[in-house]
Amino acid sequence: MSRKNRKILFIFGTRPEAIKMAPLMLALRDTPGFVPRLCVTAQHRGMLDQVLRIFNLKPHHDLNIMRPGQSLFDITASAMRALEEVLKRERPDLVVVQGDTTTTFTASLAAFYSSVPVAHVEAGLRTGDKFNPYPEEMNRLLTSRIADLHFAPTKTAAEALRAEGAPRGSVHVTGNTVVDALGIIRKRVETPSRAKKLARTFPFLKEFDNVVLVTAHRRESFGEGMQNICGAIRKLALKNPYAAFVYPVHLNPNIAKPVRKALGVINNVKLIEPLDYESFVYLMLRSRFIMTDSGGVQEEAPSLGVPVLVMREVTERMEAVDAGVARIVGTRESRIVTEATRLLSDDTSIRKMRRARNPFGDGRASERIIKVLKKYFQ
């Protein structure tokens, strides 16, 4: 490798990270002067592999740390031990991490221990409550203390970083790379042959006037929160038999068990296996609106013009709420039912949310990040 080339080591472990890193890796691969390398912890195995296949990414290092019933202690300890050897072998010029997973923080700490600078993609998201979302809020706070380059998706995120003392020259507003990824996948999904094939995957959609996509899996929703979410979906489904409530159920037993118990026998609630990313984008595009506790979906759906009801008490993506593309409804059953019923019955509200400006970028985030990297290594 020429000394002019800079080795950039991407480290991630979950599906959302892979989706948001893929367009940047692909763009950097075609940029002279850079050699991108990929290490996956496989904190989430199957869902990660789906994205790697879709974007044709092949890891140079696969740590394969996922174990049944793994705890945050397990993930952190396993990743740290394995990353020490990877960093010794690779000796990268820069480590790139994304978002707020345990892999993100652990990789940043490992890079710091190895005296390797860190770039943080999707930096600066904050709720102000270290236990909500858990453990993500603390993961991203700690990562920000380590990172040398902060790629903030919005001006609000950049302001949060500067308020915490990040050097002004280290913070760059780029937009969110998820918009880049969605642009790639949407083109595939909307080709006639692929759209026809995907439609055959969900034959039940023909039976219903409207589709409501549901995702709920967060740790802070375990227990009472999930019971309330399931109770709301049950009421909504029974009151609206001509709407399909499609729920790809997370494999975690803390989610799967209460969901299948509460919703498994309702005809218009379709409990399905976790989806590959192309299928998920197809369903988002088919949906009247989405009910979610996911962080990423709050960015993805507005990028596709689909309204979002956020089933969380707080969100680190207030830009979506402020722009009018999302509403926070919490995890109280009655509030969820009220807001979802409004969107099912009121076409004016739906049209207003669909027309709102997408606050997360224009699909050129990767381009802006690479421009900063070129300047950083001059």
- Catalytic residue numbers read 100, 122, 136, 217, 219, 250
Report the phi/psi class of residue 151: left, alpha or beta, with left for phi > 0 and alpha for psi in -120 to 50.
beta
Q: Tell the burial category of 101 from Cβ atoms under 10 Å away from its Cβ (0-12, 13-18, 19+).
A: buried
Q: Specify whether the CB–CB gap between 273 and 238 falls below 8 A.
A: no
CA distance 100 to 16: 10
For the record, the structure tokens of 206 come out as 């023909």
Please name every residue paired with 308 in a beta bridge, in sequence order, or none if there are none.
290, 326
- How many CA atoms within 13 Å lie on the side-chain side of 144? 26
Cα 98 to Cα 10, 93, 118, 143, 216, distances in angstroms: 9, 17, 10, 10, 21
CA distance 372 to 149: 9
Number of residues written out for the chain:
378
CB atoms within 10 A of CB 90: 17
DSSP notation for 296-334: HHHHHHHHTT--EEE-SS--S-HHHHHHTSEEE-TT-HH
